[in-house]
Structure 1
Amino acid sequence: MLIIKVRKKILGTMLVLFIAFTLGTLFYLKSNLYRKPLVCQAEVKLYIEDQKIRTEYDVYFYLNKQNRALALVNGLYIGEDSVPLTIRRTFSFDSVWDRSRLVVHNIAMNKNINDNAPDEAIPILAENDVIQFEMLTKHAYLISTVQSKMACNIRN
């Protein structure tokens, strides 16, 4: 009788441990296998020596799980007349992954009321443009388009 009780307790303990291990593994895989949103930040500095035009801006790039992207641009534009102008723009677009490339659709640009820089101050994405993502390190990507390339650090 005692042996049967001990066997039942051992079997019960093994069953509880197996269920706990299975649930723990499932929750771990669920949280780590699904693509997490990409949030990164880059600093861009462009100088055109002949025309003395300088552009400096920060780019905050956010790509969510539904492939809806948002790029926030905040910076400074100094034209030929040496007058500093403010750049504050938001780009939003839909995208589709093709391996490590992101094809851009439905682009919308919103200019902040404080943005007084010309539209050509920063390269703008066009419809069906392709953004390529290359992993440099665990926390940095090289994001490149036809117009420009930038290294983007992942923010946690």
Structure 2
Amino acid sequence: MRNQAKPYNTYSSSHTFNPMSIFSNFLIVGLIFLSVFALTLRDAQASRPRVSCEFSWKENQELNVKAGNKFRNATVRTSEYNRLIAMGSVPARVSADRGQHCQLNHPENTLIDTQIEKADFRLHHSGRIPNCSDLNAVVVCRGAN
């Protein structure tokens, strides 16, 4: 009678219902899902092409504007990349924020927009402060590595 088998449906007190174990299992599964999702997003973002866009403007003695340029890098969709590269050099939209800065806007893509200080394109510091509308800026985008 020593090796008597236990009945199949024997309830053991060591296996009681613990709601915290269900919660912790749910939490672990959720964390695994989020980490896989984050890795997938990172890989998708890494495969997107990058563009480097250069805003440039010429010197204008009459308006006290110094020649200059400003670069902006952006990650875009492949179709957007092809379109931006094919556009070549286009006039940039320049707007003022009524302060010390000017906003340089790409006419087709807001990811490429950038900001410059008015003092950065002032030719003679003794002369007048140029207006943002005095910049005749153009923007050209190229593929970035």
> What TM-score, normalized to structure 2?
0.34
> What TM-score, normalized to structure 1?
0.32
Using CA pairs below 8 Å that are at least 6 residues apart, which structure has the higher relative contact order?
2
Q: Which has the higher strand share?
A: 1
